[in-house]
Amino acid sequence: MFFVDTVATPGLGNHSHLAGGRSTAVAVDPPRDIDRMLVPAARRGVRIALVAETHVHNDYVTGGPELARVTGAEYLVPADARVSIRRTPMADGDTVDVDDGLTLRALATPGHTPHHTSYVLQEDGRAVAAFTGGSLLIGTVGRPDLVEPRLTRELALAQHASARRLVDELPDEVPVLPTHGFGSFCASSQAKGDATTIGEERAANDALVKDADTFVADLLAGLEDIPAYYAHMGPVNAHGPTPVDLTPPRRADAEEIAARLAAGEWVVDLRSRVAFAEGHVAGAFNFEADGKLATYLAWLIPWGKPVTLLAGTREQLAGAQRELARVGIDRPAAAATGDPADWVRDGEDPRSYPLVSFADLAGARGHGERVVVLDVRRDSERAKGWVDGSLHIPVHELRERAGEIPDGEVWVHCAAGMRATIAASLLDAAGRDVVAVDDSFASADRAGLTVIRP
């Protein structure tokens, strides 16, 4: 008998997998915090004998080399991947033994990267699971534009061919177990659900129901902006990441927090948008620990800028530190726990701003108040509808384009509130008067606002 355990990283939209038999297992695309793979292995009573990468990752720092070192496992990497770390190259058709009767077969599936390789778990020669990394996802495929712009169309065509190769070679009942696609920006479009099979994808996946030219045209037309930090992940993974250090950061008092802000460093408040709006350190930014912290903080922060973390609890701080390490923000410069009263100097008061609904915005407009409405959603979201008279600047462009915002009070909204509070905190830190709309965009027209829908 075989098993497959999945380790989810919701903040990044990724899944890692542990698969094996009675005594040994393979870890596929492990996260940097490798204890999350060691724990299920210990629970199963198996030894991790193999660690396999489907590709050199662009969205997170891999734990593959460290997991292989700690466990003594063989480290499997696609043969054509340009890496400078010790590994066993896996070419198309190569197989390795996982456990008695269990083997892992490499299947070249270029598209997400030129060297991308899927792995088929076989029990007594019968395919029982397909680890498809960034190739065949749930209802979509991995995006082909993360390597080199001149290769994007070529890789999109390769994705189409790779998806078809997978369904041609594998039975319909085989589970498809991708790494990306659960909210990851590595997916070319939003995936739905968390489980699928070869047969389900054969019937519904765009790569399998559209001809190559139509598929490529639609795929390229729908690609979103690439998170800025992706540019740093590939080189780190190719050269081999350092072991992660999750020991607690040094404690900062109010004077040090003020000094770091004065020096232009980033101070990030991890508390909820409600708590932040009610009171925060002037100049701090709000990236909620329960949101997509790693993605958006790594996307917006100037790479290498020192960051100090403010958290309500030690547990919140530890969780955020772990999540940030997954994207290469390794060691916070300092940290503090508690609340704003602990973080501001004597004689200073915390700042605050209103948190409102779309109904409040409609009311303000109805009373004749002249406010600036700022929409910080992505281009694709904006294209489906927008509040009449609103200004559009995606949150990841806000720091560079803040000068485009007219004078006056700025009411910021997104689709649900998380990105609005990031944007509001950035503007608040710059001295603007802000109001954050903590509401679903679906409520905008019901609130009486005019929503333009093309």
Q: Are strands 14-20 and 386-387 parallel, antiparallel or unpaired?
A: unpaired
Q: What is the band of 188 on the pLDDT scale with cuts at 50, 70, 90?
A: confident
**99 and 22 housed in the same domain:** yes
**317 and 366 housed in the same domain:** no
pLDDT tens-digit profile of 194-206?
A: 899 999 999 999 9
Look up the CATH number of the domain holding residue 34: 3.60.15.10
Cα of 367 vs its chain's centroid, Å: 41
Q: Is the pTM of this model over 0.75?
A: yes
**173 and 199 in contact (C-beta within 8 Å)?**
yes
**316 and 435 housed in the same domain:** no
On whether residue 244 sits in a domain, the answer given is no
Instruction: Tell me the three-class secondary structure of the chain, residue by residue.
Output: CCEEEEEEECCCCEEEEEEECCCEEEEECCECCCHHHHHHHHHHCCEEEEEECCCCCCCCCECHHHHHHHHCCEEEEECCCCCCCCCEEECCCCEEEEECCEEEEEEECCCCCCCCEEEEEEECCEEEEEEEECCECCCCEECCCCCCHHHHHHHHHHHHHHHHHHHHHCCCCCEEEECCCCCCCCECCCCCCCCCEHHHHHHHCHHHHCCHHHHHHHHHHCCCCCCCCHHHHHHHHHHCCCCCCCCCCCECCHHHHHHHHHCCCEEEECCCHHHHHHCECCCCEECCCCCCHHHHHHHHCCCCCCEEEEECCHHHHHHHHHHHHCCCCCCCCEEEECCHHHHCCCCCCCECCCEECHHHHHHHHHCCCCCEEEECCCHHHHCCCEECCCEECCHHHHHHHHHHCCCCCEEEECCCCHHHHHHHHHHHHCCCCEEEECCCCCHHHHCCCCEECC
Residues 6+ apart with CB under 8 A from 108: 78, 91, 92, 116, 117, 162
On whether residue 35 sits in a domain, the answer given is yes
**Considering the chain, what percentage of its residues have pLDDT values greater than 90?**
96
**259 and 197 housed in the same domain:** no
pLDDT tens-digit profile of 231-255?
A: 999 999 999 999 999 999 999 999 9
Average pLDDT over residues 323-344: 97
Look up the CATH number of the domain holding residue 332: 3.40.250.10
**82 and 14 housed in the same domain:** yes
Looking at 316, 343, 370, the residue that finishes a domain is: 343
On whether residue 19 sits in a domain, the answer given is yes
**360 and 332 housed in the same domain:** no
Average pLDDT over residues 16-21: 98
Average pLDDT over residues 37-48: 98
On whether residue 249 sits in a domain, the answer given is no
With CA atoms as reference, report the closest residue to 396 among 323, 301, 321, 304.
Answer: 301
**189 and 310 housed in the same domain:** no
**335 and 364 housed in the same domain:** no
How many Å apart are CA 307 and CA 378, to the nearest integer? 26
Q: Compute and round to an integer the Cα radius of gyration of the chain.
A: 24
On whether residue 350 sits in a domain, the answer given is no
Q: What pLDDT shows up at residue 190?
A: 76
Checking if the pLDDT of 192 tops 90, the result is no
Q: What pLDDT shows up at residue 189?
A: 84
On whether residue 348 sits in a domain, the answer given is no
Checking if the pLDDT of 370 tops 90, the result is no
How many Å apart are CA 385 and CA 376, to the nearest integer? 13
Q: What pLDDT shows up at residue 47?
A: 98
On whether residue 395 sits in a domain, the answer given is yes
Mean pLDDT rounded to a whole number for the chain: 97
**33 and 120 housed in the same domain:** yes
In total, how many domains does the chain have? 3
CB-based contacts of 377-382 (< 8 A; 24+ apart in sequence): 377/414, 377/415, 377/419, 377/441, 378/224, 378/225, 379/224, 379/225, 380/222, 380/224, 381/415, 381/441
Q: What pLDDT shows up at residue 209?
A: 97
On whether residue 187 sits in a domain, the answer given is yes
Domain containing 141: what range? Answer: 3-239
Looking at 314, 343, 372, the residue that finishes a domain is: 343
**310 and 269 in contact (C-beta within 8 Å)?**
yes
**183 and 66 housed in the same domain:** yes
List residues bridging with 307 in a β-sheet. Answer: 266
**367 and 424 housed in the same domain:** yes
**68 and 27 housed in the same domain:** yes
CB-based contacts of 212-220 (< 8 A; 24+ apart in sequence): 212/157, 212/160, 212/161, 215/156, 215/160, 216/153, 216/156, 216/157, 216/160, 219/141, 219/143, 219/144, 219/156, 219/159, 219/188, 219/189, 220/145, 220/152, 220/153, 220/156
How many Å apart are CA 16 and CA 324, to the nearest integer? 17
Looking at 204, 239, 274, the residue that finishes a domain is: 239
How many Å apart are CA 259 and CA 30, to the nearest integer? 38
pLDDT tens-digit profile of 96-113?
A: 999 999 999 999 999 999
Pick from 302-306, 367-371, 449-453: least confident = 367-371
How many CB atoms sit inside 10 A of residue 12's CB? 25
